[in-house]
Amino acid sequence: ARWGAMGFEGCFGAAPPPSKRCVQLGSSSTSVDPPEVNRRRGGRPNQISTVRFPSPLVISWLPKSLFAQFQRAANRYFLFVSILVCMPFSPTSWSSTAVPFAAVLLWTALKDLYEDMRRRRDDVAENLRPCWRFDAVAHKFVQTTWEQVLCGDVLLVFQDDVFPADCLIVAADSGRAFISTANLDGETNLKERRPPAPCGALLSKGGAVEDIASSAFDKCFCADMDEPKVGFDDMGGTVSFKGEDAGAIPSLLYAEHLAPRGCVLRNTAWLVAVAAYVGDESKSRLNVARLDAKISNLQVHLNSCVKGLVATLVLFCIYASIMAQALGQDSGLGDFLVRFCKYWIILYQIVPISLYVCFEIVKLLLGLQINMDKQMVHMVDPDTPEHALARTADLVEEMGQVQHVFSDKTGTITQNEMRFARCWIEGQDLGEFRPTESAPGKFKDPQVSTIGITTAQHILGDTTSKLCEETRRFFLCLAACHSAQVETGKDGEPLYSGSSPDEVAFLDAARAVGVTLRAQRLTPRDGCAAVELQIDGPEGLRALTVLCQIPFSSDRKRMSVVCEVDGELMCITKGADSVMGPLCNGTLGDAGMRQIDTYAKLGLRTLVVGWKTIDRKFLSAWQVRMETARGSPAEERGDKLAQCAKELEHSLWLSGISAIEDRLQDGVPAAMSMLKEMGIRVWVLTGDKVETAIEIARSCSLLSEGMALVMIVNATSPAHALDLLRDGQRQIDGLESCALVLDGGTMQYATDSEEGRSLIFKIGMASKVCVCCRLAPQQKRRLVQIVRERDKARITLAIGDGANDVPMIQGAHVGIAVRGKEGNQSVQASDVAISQFSFLVPLLQCHGRRAYRRVAVFLCYYVYKHVVLAVGDMCWAHQSRFGGEIAYPEWVSSAYAGLFTSFPVIIVLGFDRDLPDQVVSTHPDLYAEGQLRMHFNARIFATWILSGIWHGSLAWFIPNLTMGASDPGTDPDWNEDWWIGSIISFSLVLIYVDLRLWLIALNRCSKLTLFALMSSPVLYVLTLLVLGHTYLGSWLQPQIAGVPLEAVTRGKAMAALFVAPMAMLVDCIVFLASTQLRPTPLDQVRRGLDSNSKASRVSPPLDERTSG
């Protein structure tokens, strides 16, 4: 159960307590135990609700939204400030602080309400979907809605309808049904479902669906089921009939008898089922993911900076309160606390209320740019473009600092489009099966013929050949041992589909040589449902009956079927050579192992096919044991099933070895080379054998010529694994360029000890490349954890395409999914989804690198601009002998963060482009900026803070001293000169921060940059006019009535306003010196690009210089 292993759980409301379920149909009624199941949600247990605010909406919406918002520390901080400003001692009016904060809370609450109303609309649409429920009294199916369905209802589902609940299949047209689970797991192949064996008796009364449903009631259908479980393949229980005319022998229930809610019935005219699990107990609802949110390291640094700013605020408030006591302004503890609170109110904007809001907006813009990037568009077909998808914008800047990439192989760097390449039968390689480039793909065209196909056809047609019988058996095994489906196309030819591309390739290859699977049909056999395969081969059309199947799993690494061929029972097993060797008589032999190595060195994936005949008596006894194991408790079931499989899968005769090609995706070698040049370590983690993985690593340019391989494989014990690791460490010490090759068995032993984990990390970091083979999904995640635990500053990225990659994707800092053929579980667990591995390069080099710079500069600039504002209040505190008065008009200060300075920084940094993508792709060294934290570190942050103190001091002291209004003995509330100086100072603050933003912009003369920067002074001037020369302003800010225009008439004020910005020349000189003396890689490339651009403008093209 892939989803079950991931730890998914319901997250909307309290999950119902798990309980076993018993559904029994009587003469005209249904009984369910426990009865509480059908009492939930007011007697509508199948009703689903994903809303955050349940009805009545008016009562629940605002309190719940506010409660959620106050879980953030920043909101609790501003709530504390809003309470303080309402106190009598507050130096500012409550409205200037509380109103903006309330507006932010209300805006967020309205956004929550809008999103919840959309969820409510979707819930209503799903709950009111129609379905057909059997009315036992009226003896007919009547239409109802999904929310009216109860546990135990008998439902009728037609082709292309969606199942309204987890349904236990009772009967289906032709005895079996096919369902599409694409809505749940993204897998496009159809899955077969069938009713339990005893339900065949329901068809005795006739073919009408009403008769079948009535028969279920008459025969007292009874199902005892396990408690609701998360796994889609996890279903247990028994089914029986309690009526007098039907036996009471229970039959076990499995996943093949259950159709989960949300699945679609396909290729089946109708299906009758019993609602087993409804509403929040259905598997689709239990699988709603609750995943721990990932937090970027810059978000962590932002939180630390905010804590530092708050600590600075606390220290200054304590300092100001102490100084007020020392200067005789206050006395006693009460005055000390009041003074402390006053300065907290005055300086609270050092942590701006708009910081986190603007931070999220910038990230949202960066995420949208990923979604719209045309260089990451994959054309599924000429009319269907597939764009990259940033499923979360929280980690965009993290992609600009990646130092370690963990990559899956199959379907991630390869196409996962399997082609049957070669096969080895009885010591002979039959030759190349792959079509030429003129006829690529699978063996669809009967005209396509290759050496391998021709050789196989010749052998099959020559009954005197020694290889004939073995070759027939080999391809018969391929046509029989699979879980694929076959349909008949419009041309009468079979079409194969399945969850495993390997199996489809096997069936295509068998068909190409003349062993064709024509059809499948369900057939009763000894009270059980078997599958009859119609196989057209050299002997003509023959029937082969599959009696039971042991499916493939990542732990077993093999699959088996027991089938009857011409009256003989045969066990056919195919699997990886590592597990098939011990199961075959005399192992695989030296010749077989050499052939496997040969195929692996060609980059081909190998599977070993074995067979044996079995005795009917043994099969009967084994089936009883198997049924018993399948019905055992869930915690014991896996071990018992594995033990039963071992009883069957042994002493096999080797039939042959197949080799499958999984071609590389386009652009993978170039992408791998680019990633290495960007300074990123790439570890390939795969389940393939060692030789295959090494050859794929070579073909994709991960392993370069001359790179030594340090092989740490085939450990037999924990001590042996440690010895191999120590030897590997000694080998690496003398090598300049090497690659580590590690297998899953050795890793399993090594990770049991701290020394083993440490050695894996040290050797891996000393190697340029690491190839890890034969890994299980959890081992992939364990490697990611080892790197993260031992180097906490290292940013990791995991990329994969299947459900087996989900643990790795969730374990890394950044998870990337490659959309593939293995469903969308990896997409659902990822942070970003792309369609090709090669798209990883522009994702990191273009978007990630730019996002890191933009976000890092945003954080520094946002803190800087509020330090500039706060310095004026700190300076005035000393001048006023810590009297607790404000330095700037309070409403102007309140508008500073949200109205005057936020829009410019969002626009400038959200859309600032450093270099064209074509230039970026040729300079991998640019990526080092994020890896080395060049734009956000202690030195850079301290520089910004010092710059803020410098600019804030200039902005305050120049006008204040120039206007001569610095005497703290004057009353600033009625001192016009003082307020003129205050407004000029605030104007300089705005000028300094706008000029600083212009200075750090990369496109300083672009229309968008200039528009954003000009919006700030325009809005500021309009605000001053409103506050100083309107009735509204006289009510909000009476102290500056008439002051703004009066300031324009004062020569000293205008001189200060126009002369003080000249101090920015110092910043320009420092900025230019730093780019010349300590240029970043971006500075160097931009300088070179500018030089080339100037040279191209000065020098005419060569043809112009040589003409005439």
Angle at 206 between CA 203 and CA 211, to 5 degrees: 85
Confidence check: pLDDT of 912 > 70: yes
At residue 151 the predicted structure's pLDDT band, cuts being 50, 70 and 90, is very high
Two tokens at 31? 């009984």
| Per-residue pLDDT, 1107 | 40
Check whether 908 has a pLDDT greater than 70: yes
What is the secondary structure of 981-1040 as a DSSP string?
HHHHHHHHHHHHHHHHHHHH-SSTTSHHHHHHHHHHHHHHHHHHHHHHHSHHHHHH-GGG
Classify 352 as helix, strand or coil: coil
Average pLDDT, whole number, for the chain?
A: 85
Which residue is associated with the tokens 């080379």? 673
pLDDT in tens, 520-573: 887 766 656 688 899 998 888 889 999 988 888 767 888 999 999 888 999 999
- Residue 940 contacts residue 857 (beta carbons within 8 Å): no
Task: Give 631 or 74, the one with higher predicted confidence.
Answer: 74
Judge contact between 1021 and 1047, C-beta under 8 A: no
Q: Summarize pLDDT for 285-329 with one digit per residue, the tens.
A: 887 645 566 888 888 888 888 888 889 999 999 999 999 888 888
Question: What dihedral do alpha carbons 308, 312, 313, 317 form, nearest 10°?
Answer: 150
Q: What's this model's pTM, rounded to 2 decimal places?
A: 0.78
pLDDT band at 368 (very low <50, low <70, confident <90, very high): very high
> What is the band of 187 on the pLDDT scale with cuts at 50, 70, 90?
low
Residue 275: per-residue pLDDT? 94
Q: What is the mean pLDDT of residues 1079-1108?
A: 63
Q: What is the DSSP string of 239-266?
A: EEE-STTS----EE--GGGEE-TT-EEE
- The mean pLDDT of 685-696, rounded to a whole number, is 82
Whole-number Cα distances in Å, 1022 to 203, 892, 900: 82, 11, 11
pLDDT of 292 reads 62
Beta bridge partners, 24, equal 31, 222
Burial of 114 (0-12, 13-18, 19+ CB in 10 A): exposed
With 90 as the cut, is the pLDDT of residue 984 above it?
A: yes
pLDDT for the residue 446 = 44
How far is Cα 256 from Cα 473, in angstroms, rounded to an integer?
29
Q: 81: phi > 0 → left, psi -120 to 50 → alpha, else beta; which? A: alpha
User: Using an 8 Å Cβ cutoff, are 844 and 929 in contact?
Assistant: no
Q: Are the CB atoms for 31 and 213 separated by under 8 Å?
A: no
Mean pLDDT of 1079-1106: 65
Cα 154–chain centre separation: 38
Q: Categorize the per-residue pLDDT at 355 as very low, low, confident or very high, splitting at 50, 70 and 90.
A: confident
- Let me know if 8 is exposed, middle or buried by CB neighbors in 10 A (0-12, 13-18, 19+): buried
Give the model confidence (pLDDT) of 456-478 as tens digits.
999 998 888 888 999 999 999 99
pLDDT at 566: 87
More confident residue, 1095 or 362: 362
849 token code pair: 């690198």
The predicted-structure confidence for 942-955, as pLDDT tens digits, reads as follows 999 999 999 999 99
Do 840 and 406 meet the contact criterion of CB atoms below 8 Å apart?
no
Q: What is the pLDDT of residues 722-745, one digit of tens each?
A: 999 999 999 888 788 899 999 988
Instruction: Band the pLDDT of 3: cuts 50, 70, 90.
Output: very low
Asked if 446 and 435 count as a contact pair (C-beta separation under 8 A), the reply is no
827-884 residue pLDDT tens: 878 889 999 999 999 999 999 999 999 999 999 999 999 999 999 999 999 888 888 8
